[in-house]
Homo-oligomer: A and B are copies of this chain.
Amino acid sequence: MQKFDCTFSSATVEYFFDYSVEYLFAQYSERKIILLTDANVFAAHPSIFLNRPTIVIEAGEQHKNQATVDKIIEELLRLETDRNTLLVGIGGGVVTDIAGYVAGIYMRGIDVGFVPTTILAMVDASIGGKNGIDVGVYKNMIGLIRQPKFLCYDLALLQTLPNAEWINGFAEIIKHACIKSEPMFRHLVAQQLSDFQNNHQLLSDLILQNAQIKNVVVQNDEFEKGDRKLLNFGHTLGHAIENELQLPHGHAISVGMMVASRLSAKQNGFAGVADIEKVLKQYGLTVAANYDKIKAMEVLRMDKKRIGDKINFILLSYIGEAYIEPISFEHIEQAI
């Protein structure tokens, strides 16, 4: 167990790492707490929600939209949520994204905390304060950057996580290795997914290391003027195909990382394309997908990273080192 604070330019986030969610509730016993979760997490961990006011949303990225936000707000009103209420999002990235967003706009902002229940949410989605919802095929088109009050990592919650969700989360871990840590990349090459699933310490170390990589990036650039953009490696094309193909996020960005790697090879002679393909496959991720190129280009044109007729693409110079290069839509069209 480790407890530490992480101070961003706008706020300080309290980390409860490897603590039980019950410990967390005890810490906030004097506050009115409302829990927000999805149907899967609610069914998998009934004891957490017993006798606690809970809003349950439908599971899945397709529900990360305004209709779900409307329902949550209606429930918050019904539960007489006031400015001193603490909203706690317990779930994967969809739940923490929606919980963070709703808490940011309800009564112009109430406190929110996250209990991520997936690898993906633990190493990426729940960290850094970005929240939001999709608008049609456009991912995270609406949202805020606003830090939660705390993050609680209860690794016991991963025991019920389906294998497909483990694979999904490792895409972001591989991404962190690609852009920030060559030693972690080698560590991943040397292990198998099952090693992490069966060894608490190995897993705990990996998750903490990944949370710290993301924390440092966000601390240096909370409002994404520079370095934080590197975290979008694989995400530009990934987002463009995720909703169209109904691909899990990890697989979509895995395809996106392959495209960005090949684009890197073309732009600067990056030599690690085969290594990245190998490790993605090793962890069960998709490296190619059959998608509608015209539709993907349409979505890219509405990407938040677009500046005029170019889009900021994240490329690699070598494994562990990424940079931003504006690429014209024409060049992207050729690459995909």
Q: A-side interface residues toward B, CB under 8 Å?
A: 66, 70, 73, 77, 80, 82-84, 104-109, 130, 132, 135, 138, 140-145, 301-302, 304-307
Q: Which chain B residue has the least Cβ–Cβ distance from A140? A: B108
The interface residues of chain B lying within 8 Å CB-to-CB of A70 are 66
Q: Which residues of B contact A304 (CB under 8 A)?
A: 82-83, 107-108
Count this chain's copies in the assembly: 2
Distance in Å: Cβ of A92 to nearest Cβ of chain B: 20
The distance from the CB of A66 to the nearest CB of chain B, in whole angstroms, is 7
Cβ contact within 8 Å between A143 and B302: no
B132 touches A80 (CB 8 A): no
Q: Which residues of B contact A84 (CB under 8 A)?
A: 307
Nearest 9 CB-CB pairings of A with B: A107-B304, A108-B143, A105-B142, A82-B306, A108-B145, A108-B144, A83-B304, A73-B135, A77-B302
Q: What residue of chain B has the Cβ atom nearest to residue A69's Cβ? A: B66
Other-chain contact of A77, B108, B135, B144 (Cβ < 8 Å): B135
A305 to B83: give the CA distance in the assembly, Å.
8
Residues B73 and A142 in contact, CB atoms below 8 Å apart: yes
The A interface is mostly helix, strand or loop, or mixed, namely mixed
A301 vs B82: C-alpha distance in the bound complex, in angstroms? 10
- Name 18 extra pairs, CB < 8 A, besides A77-B141, A109-B145, A144-B144: A73-B135, A73-B141, A73-B142, A77-B135, A77-B138, A80-B302, A82-B304, A82-B306, A83-B304, A83-B306, A83-B307, A105-B143, A106-B141, A107-B142, A107-B304, A108-B132, A108-B304, A109-B144
Do B105 and A144 touch across chains, with their CB atoms under 8 A apart?
Answer: yes
Among B104, B107, B109, the residue within 8 A (CB) of A141 is B107
Closest to A101 in B: B105
Query: Considering the chains assembled together, what is the distance between the CA atoms of A142 and B80 in angstroms?
Result: 14
Chain B's closest residue to A142 (CB) is: B105
A105's contact among B105, B138, B302, by CB below 8 Å, is which?
A: B105
Question: Can you name 12 A-B residue pairings with CB atoms under 8 Å?
Answer: A66-B66, A73-B135, A77-B135, A77-B138, A82-B306, A82-B307, A83-B307, A84-B307, A106-B142, A107-B142, A108-B145, A109-B145
Alpha-carbon distance between A82 and B304 when the two chains are bound, in angstroms: 6
Closest CB in chain B relative to A229 CB, distance in Å:
12
A77 and B132 alpha carbons, distance in the complex (Å): 16
In the complex the two chains form, what is the Cα distance from A64 to B304 in whole Å?
26
- Find chain B residues with CB under 8 A from A107 CB: 141-142, 304
Across-interface contacts of A83 in B (CB, < 8 A): 304-307
Distance in Å: Cβ of A193 to nearest Cβ of chain B: 33
A277: shortest Cβ distance to chain B, in Å?
Answer: 32
Q: Report the Cα distance A56→B138, complex, angstroms.
A: 23
Tell me the bound Cα distance from A106 to B143 in angstroms. 7
User: Quick one: which of A80, A107, A109 has the most chain B CB within 10 A?
Assistant: A107
